[in-house]
Structure 1
Amino acid sequence: MSKPKLTLVAMSGLRVGHEGLLQRGLKLPGLARRASALSQLPPLGLLTIAALVPETWDIELLMDDGVTAVSEVAEQILSGKSSTQPAMVAFSALTPSADRAARISQLVRRRNVTTVIGGLHATATPDHCRPHFDVVVQGDGESTFAKLLSDFAGGRGRDSYRADGSFSLGDSPLPRWDLLGDHSPPRYTIQSMRGCPWACSFCAASRLLEPARVKPDERFEAELKAIASRKARPWIELADDNTFASGRDHGPMLESLRRHGARWFTESDWRIAKQPELLSQIAESGCRQILVGLESNVFRYPGMGAKNADWQRMLEAVDVIQEAGIVVNGCLIVGADGETPESMERLGDFLEEAPMGEIQLTLQTPFPGTSLYDSLLRSQRLLPGDFSRYTLFDVVYQPDQMTAEQLQNEFNDLVGRVFRPEVQSRRDSIQKRIRSSRRSPGKRS
């Protein structure tokens, strides 16, 4: 008797709804480089869930590029590499890809295939997902997926599963990297911490997955060792929201990264600049770049806790981090309340001469599950349309100082301005200078 097949579908690819922005900004070298890196990240969540699937199932992994026609993607799912129709298809989708996943699911369900969706969007908006999928999974998939499969096999399937937030990252299984085949992605992903102790009003991850939890050092080492066995001196992207926000001793994790020769990227807040010993360890462990949330220069978001600071204090921290030999990717949110054409002009002036080796510019986006979303919903400022527009680059709410069209046009102009080749070249020079400082005596190259 043949095994039932489970197909895992990762909804990947950069999504931007506004064609004008694509033409004027996102094809510029600075943005294209980061977009390419993001699109090539392996689907850590699905690969981890796959490790919990019993041997009584066959598993296939399919990566949706966000461009191929949904009908073609559905046919790829239904036929697969083995030409065997799956019994179940499980999607992992963030908000901007959720509606596309729903369209694919509806085509697949016509062939009597059970479809499942999980992830942050499903956790935040299960009612949005239920009409389009047979099963909606909320919260930690590690707590629920094995039960879901067991229920399905026994004919006891339910339409909803919800984790209680008690899953310990010490029980994390090794991701099924073998599902990627012989292909070695440019970057691998590891999660050292799930969630964040802060509750920034624009961020869903800090609250949707229950308490912030850290992965024990021995589990982190086991995952990194498995990756290093596939690729020497791997590029690692830590799939964390704020890696150094916990009070743990980060030394063992950083030593693991150093020992395996990893080059790595993560996200943190500016306060690591206040810990010179930790900063030195981070640099020596192979960290190449840290995304630091500078957020907005016109508005301080509620819920930022101890990371809240004035603009000048954060810029001083940027200098300290980069002096340690780590490139700072300054992350800025445009379009908060109080934003005007004049404030965006000032931001453009600053970014043309800013000290950061890299920058990330996004539009304020009220993702479901955030207090920002709830606030704009209550005040009836959310614009009509589906979730495919929630890309970080498209205006989906009514600004308080401009029209939505004006904000979009001003943002497009700002992106074109600060990512044009000569300005990006200046940031590239900053990066080269920072990295050359790492090669001085006593520093790891």
Structure 2
Amino acid sequence: METDSRSEFGRDGSSLSWNVQGDDVVIQFTMEVPVPKPKLTLVSMSGLRVGHEELLQRGLKLPGLARRASALSQLPPLGLLTIAALVPESWDIELVMDDGVTPECEVADQILSGTTSLNPPRVVAFSALTPSADRAARISRLVQRHNVTTVIGGLHATATPEHCRPHFDVVVQGDGESTFANLLADVMEGTPAASYRADGSFSLADSPLPRWELLGKNSPPRYTIQSMRGCPWACSFCAASRMLGPARVKPDDRFEAELQAISDQQSRPWIELADDNTFASGRDHGPMLESLQNHGARWFTESDWRIAKKPRLLQQIADSGCRQILIGLESSVFRYPGMGAKNADWERMLEAVVAIQEAGIVVNGCLIVGADGESKESITRLGDFLEEAPMGEIQLTLQTPFPGTSLYKTLLQSERLLPGDFSRYTLFDVVYQPDQMTAEQLQNEFNALIERVFRPEAQARRDSIQKKIRSFRRAARDQV
């Protein structure tokens, strides 16, 4: 008796087989569906947040502020993309970008459904700064209803884990590179701890290449690289300088590798160095600047006025494609503790501003309003000064005592922090009791200053300064 056996296979893993023995046909259908990988969903809590409606109407719609706000909103979540590179291949990864405006229930639905509801996330990890931490907590609670482990990390979680623990299953403090793979392994074993804390020993020599492909098909207008983590100074208002451990620099070969990966995505990229104070270390910055120049990068960073004391370095910075440097001038009425060697009188810093711009680099003068000693009169004087100031760009923020800073501890101990949640810690909203005014008076004076400094005529004057600096830079380049 002849026997005929045949099989067919479907794309979904199903199979159909039959045996023919004489006049008898035996049909067997089997369905084999591959077990999906566990999925990790990374959630970046982004978007510019301002709680004060009057300021939104009077200031942030002005061209000068809107331009910088737009640039900040375009920055990719470097921390999460870096962590993603350390996730084992046994996991699927998805990235969700929160804009701070979409209803929280819709963000939760997006997290849970992702690209396919057939494979919901096993772990949802949030990265949030202080003003977005409460929103992240509410979204976490929505997601937790679906048997998902939620995690939060970043500066806010590091500074105030007690605020995060009631709303997240796991709190990660410090460098995520040191702990995240262990966390995922513990989740798979069913034994995740409530908290993981890095000891600050992670070496930037071990930094992986960020997973830029998670951003999707559209390249971001601006890319970010961290050349240095932390800062040797400990300014009392700064939440980032030493929160994650001691100041560390990224070796030149790792910096070059990351820059090459970005250049492979986009030629002549726009780069923002995600540093607290790029030139504060004693490293030789020449190789890093040479890499930026060789890749045709245009870039922005933050530093302090002391680079003006190093003409050769300043020229290297300009030649390498630096378009703008944010220089912390800080307060016009108060010198913050912990500023170390960057502490200087007002006139000395302004001389440095002129020197930096004469080298062909626009200075974005960063000023804090509302420190102790601030009054209506001092804010008016600051406005008068900024009408004629030499800086090509200005950044104005209110003093904000972020958790983890000595400023926060001082105001907390003196019972000067105002009631309310952390969503108000935006850099544009008064969250403490000033010493010379009421909180309402300070907010009103700051709003009026914003409107004055960023009105179209004032911004046009700074734009003309920038145009002159760019023209000077082109002329200098043509002479080479």
Q: For residue 174 of structure 1, what is the aligned residue in structure 2?
A: 209
Q: Distance in 1 between matches of 2:474 and 2:450?
A: 33
Q: For residue 382 of structure 1, what is the aligned residue in structure 2?
A: 417
1:64 aligns with 2:119: no
The superposition leaves residues 26-51 of structure 1 with CA deviations (integer Å, 9 ceiling, x where unpaired) of 11000000000001100000000000
Q: TM-score, normalised by structure 1?
A: 0.99
The superposition leaves residues 277-327 of structure 1 with CA deviations (integer Å, 9 ceiling, x where unpaired) of 000000000000000000001000000000000000000000000000000
Q: Distance in 2 between matches of 1:383 and 1:413?
A: 22
Q: Distance in 2 between matches of 1:20 and 1:376?
A: 26
Shift of 1:82: 2.0
Distance 1:75 1:442, change over 3 A: closer
Q: For residue 81 of structure 1, what is the aligned residue in structure 2?
A: 115
Q: For residue 295 of structure 1, what is the aligned residue in structure 2?
A: 330
The superposition leaves residues 97-116 of structure 1 with CA deviations (integer Å, 9 ceiling, x where unpaired) of 00000000000001111000
1:233-244 aligned within 5 A: 233-244=268-279
SS for the counterpart of 2:134 is helix
Q: For residue 44 of structure 1, what is the aligned residue in structure 2?
A: 78
Distance 1:311 1:86, change over 3 A: same
Distance 1:402 1:229, change over 3 A: same
Check the 8 A contact 1:7/1:59 in 2, yes or no: yes
1:4-403 aligned within 5 A: 4-83=38-117, 84-403=119-438
Q: Distance in 1 between matches of 2:476 and 2:148?
A: 60
Q: Distance in 2 between matches of 1:321 and 1:441?
A: 15
Check the 8 A contact 1:17/1:388 in 2, yes or no: yes
Q: TM-score, normalised by structure 2?
A: 0.92
Shift of 1:353: 1.0
Q: Distance in 2 between matches of 1:150 and 1:78?
A: 21
- Give the letter for the 2:185 counterpart: S
- Give the letter for the 2:426 counterpart: T
SS for the counterpart of 2:231 is coil
Check the 8 A contact 1:438/1:444 in 2, yes or no: no
SS for the counterpart of 2:80 is helix
Shift of 1:444: 9.1
The sequence identity of aligned pairs, in percent, is 83
The gaps in structure 2 that reach 5 residues or longer are 1-34
SS for the counterpart of 1:406 is helix
Q: Distance in 2 between matches of 1:181 and 1:206?
A: 32
Q: Distance in 2 between matches of 1:396 and 1:372?
A: 12
SS for the counterpart of 1:439 is helix
Q: Distance in 1 between matches of 2:147 and 2:54?
A: 40
Q: Distance in 2 between matches of 1:319 and 1:154?
A: 59
- Give the letter for the 1:321 counterpart: I
Shift of 1:153: 1.0
Q: Distance in 2 between matches of 1:55 and 1:143?
A: 17
- Give the letter for the 2:447 counterpart: N
Larger mean CA deviation between 202-211 and 127-136 belongs to: 202-211
Check the 8 A contact 1:286/1:444 in 2, yes or no: no
SS for the counterpart of 2:262 is helix
SS for the counterpart of 2:326 is strand
The superposition leaves residues 163-211 of structure 1 with CA deviations (integer Å, 9 ceiling, x where unpaired) of 0000000000000001011111010000000000000000021121110
Q: Distance in 2 between matches of 1:352 and 1:148?
A: 53
SS for the counterpart of 1:408 is helix
The superposition leaves residues 21-72 of structure 1 with CA deviations (integer Å, 9 ceiling, x where unpaired) of 0000011000000000001100000000000011111100000000001011
Shift of 1:443: 5.7
- Give the letter for the 1:379 counterpart: S
Distance 1:277 1:69, change over 3 A: same
Q: For residue 428 of structure 1, what is the aligned residue in structure 2?
A: 463
SS for the counterpart of 1:122 is helix
RCO higher in structure (CA 8 A, sep ≥6)? 1
- Give the letter for the 1:66 counterpart: G
Check the 8 A contact 1:197/1:206 in 2, yes or no: yes
Larger mean CA deviation between 78-87 and 176-185 belongs to: 78-87
The superposition leaves residues 339-374 of structure 1 with CA deviations (integer Å, 9 ceiling, x where unpaired) of 000000000001111100000000000000000000
Q: Distance in 2 between matches of 1:208 and 1:244?
A: 19
- Give the letter for the 2:70 counterpart: S
Shift of 1:442: 3.9
The gaps in structure 1 that reach 5 residues or longer are none
Q: How many residue pairs are counted as aligned between the two chains?
A: 445
Shift of 1:441: 4.1
Q: For residue 447 of structure 2, what is the aligned residue in structure 1?
A: 412
